[in-house]
Structure 1
């Protein structure tokens, strides 16, 4: 393989890994600050309107000399405990990668701001491809055989099961991202073959 082909392949690699990730700006246009309007959407309401997946990032935008972001556990979140945190960020433009499924808890590093609702819970969806592969589907009614009849009894006929086939489910966002990812990979391989 020539040096040009290696360089081309390495330059395309970041696009393959980032194809499915989404960056979410926390709070939308409001950014990471104390909510001043009582009618404005809370950070948790904002989070409920979004879907977070493994690999997505959160972008916290705030004034670095006036605020910070703390990743905390559930108890510190509940009590706005700014002295017990997992990670602290204070650069004013924090990008946090959601690296696993489940809840992530964030509060302002200024206790008074946290008490005034500058706090956020983000729940990351589980990777369906992993969970569905590790748990086989339940058996269908047709594949379950009835227990053998007891001695001295006559078996009753099995009830007829209506043969109905459920309609296929629409593609999920994850499967669409997977298709996009493989489309990018195929395009990159095609480009490499064209260059060769």
Structure 2
């Protein structure tokens, strides 16, 4: 009987770890909504207000007959080079997802010259949420702060409420499974 109990405990631990990891990942709509992978969207502005973590997903929604999504290196990103890409994310439907699996900066662009119209984005995957910095104390004749010193607030999608709901849901599932397995 003890071996069966040990198997149940190990099984429950594996399920719990899996559910907690699922609760941590987040889906980011690139550009802000389901179909905003298109020219003349400020993806740099959008990404500066998002927080990307290991395991998160990017959703690229676009007109499939016009655009694509390519993962490229930094040089190709900076120069809008669409040849020699790392990975072609496009699968033909215009609704593609990409999981962030490494701590690094990912670079994406759309080929066919669309990169020159702003269809590119850099995504920095960090280990934790950066706390907002306090503004420096005012000084006499201090220069105006540059836009680069701006620290964005958390985006509505990055708040802890969504994760909290997921944790409660998964805790409920865990208790339900535990109850069922305990009765056997």
Normalised to the residue count of structure 2, the TM-score between the two structures is 0.63
Match for residue 126 of structure 2?
125
Match for residue 82 of structure 1?
82
Cα deviation, 1:104-132, whole Å, max 9, x if unaligned, reads 1001022x21011111001111258xxxx
Alignment of 1:141-156 (within 5 A): none
Alignment of 1:23-42 (within 5 A): 23-29=27-33, 31-35=36-40, 42=42
User: 1:54 Cα shift?
Assistant: 0.6
Match for residue 21 of structure 2?
17
Match for residue 48 of structure 1?
48
Please list every run of 5 or more consecutive structure 2 residues that lacks an aligned counterpart in the other structure.
130-158
Please list every run of 5 or more consecutive structure 1 residues that lacks an aligned counterpart in the other structure.
36-40, 129-172
Which whole-Å CA distance do the structure 1 matches of 2:60 and 2:30 have between them? 5
Match for residue 71 of structure 1?
71
Partner secondary structure for residue 106 of structure 1: strand
Question: Does the Cα contact within 8 Å between 1:77 and 1:106 map onto a contact in 2?
Answer: yes
Match for residue 97 of structure 1?
99
Match for residue 165 of structure 1?
none
Cα deviation, 1:14-58, whole Å, max 9, x if unaligned, reads 6443211110111123511111xxxxx510110001111111100
Which whole-Å CA distance do the structure 2 matches of 1:31 and 1:189 have between them? 37
Question: Does the Cα contact within 8 Å between 1:58 and 1:98 map onto a contact in 2?
Answer: yes
User: 1:193 Cα shift?
Assistant: 3.4
Residues 182 and 23 of structure 1, relative CA distance in 2, 3 Å threshold = closer
Aligned length: 139
Which whole-Å CA distance do the structure 1 matches of 2:178 and 2:89 have between them? 44
- Structure label with greater radius of gyration: 1
Question: Does the Cα contact within 8 Å between 1:77 and 1:119 map onto a contact in 2?
Answer: yes
Question: Does the Cα contact within 8 Å between 2:55 and 2:100 map onto a contact in 1?
Answer: yes
